[in-house]
Amino acid sequence: MTGARSGAIGAAPVGLVLGAVSSVQFGAALAKTLFDDLGPAGTVLVRLLVAAVILLAVWRPRVRGMTREQLGVAVVFGLALGGMNLSFYAALDRIPLGIAVTLEFIGPLGVAVAGSRRTLDVAWVVLAAAGIVSLSGGGGDLDPLGVALALLAGAFWAGYILLSARAGRTFPGGSGLALAMAVGTVVLLPAGVADGGGALLDPRLLALGAAVAVLSSVIPYSLELEALRRMPARVFGVLMSLEPGLAALAGWLILSEALSTREVAAIGLVVAASAGAAITARDAPGPDPGRTR
């Protein structure tokens, strides 16, 4: 009985998380193919709009009767969500997917070890920093603005994680995320329309944008929720640490983005640091990073 249970925990949930991570990264790769027509901001707008419609239809949050505090949380949450997505897609327009995700990953890693005084946690930060420095300052062909935008996206991601936890305590179910997605869509509307222009009315491009939303939000969010019911959060965090590596794979397969040996090694350092931080994390539950890009 014990062996069967262990096998179930070790196989099915792992497949769910890997499926979620792969869906997110291949969704990001598909999004990048839309940049020539819609631009980064236009692509973000379509992606957030579709995700907002789906989430609002599922959770049906009621704005009437909400307190000022609840509305404030939803607005700030939405601003962080919109800023994270826009800065990430803008970075993706300038640097390879695998590198953009690796640089952005410093955000959740920072949240994971923030406030810790353990020497081991400091070591994980140093290891990740070595990878970040190698990527951003290694004298390669990376666009400096793209690097800065990816790091900015990481900062927004850290804020998003903290606000996601706050929204989870403030709103029932996923209604807080649904409202935040709607706020983010409204905030990005001017930039998205200016960037996408008339192409935003192209049915083919809208369909591809909808596919990006499904791959980046609907599928992974559902898979991760189911996986978290079957595995410890620590194991979930280790598997999530594979994101930069899978992003590099998606960039290579879909976008033909080849990476140098140094870049692959730097990504490996960040993956190792993130996995190590998850493995050695204290048992206190942490915030759910969510799925928004």
CA distance 128 to 287: 20
**Mean pLDDT of successive 10-residue segments in the chain (293 residues)?**
44 86 95 97 96 92 88 95 96 96 91 80 90 76 92 94 88 88 96 96 96 90 81 83 94 95 94 88 50 57
What is the three-state SS of 110-163? HHHHCCCCCHHHHHHHHHHHHHHHHHHCCCCCCCHHHHHHHHHHHHHHHHHHHH
Q: Name residue, tokens 């928004």.
A: 292
Is the distance from CB of 96 to CB of 251 less than 8 angstroms?
yes
pLDDT value of residue 3:
43
Q: Which amino acid is at 118?
A: R
Ranges of each domain in the chain:
25-279
Task: Report the pLDDT value the prediction gives residue 10, as an integer from 0 to 100.
Answer: 53
pLDDT of residue 140: 61
CA angle 171, 235, 229 (to 5 degrees): 45
Structure tokens at 259: 């990476």
pLDDT at 270: 93
Kindly report the number of other CB atoms within 10 A of residue 198's CB atom: 7
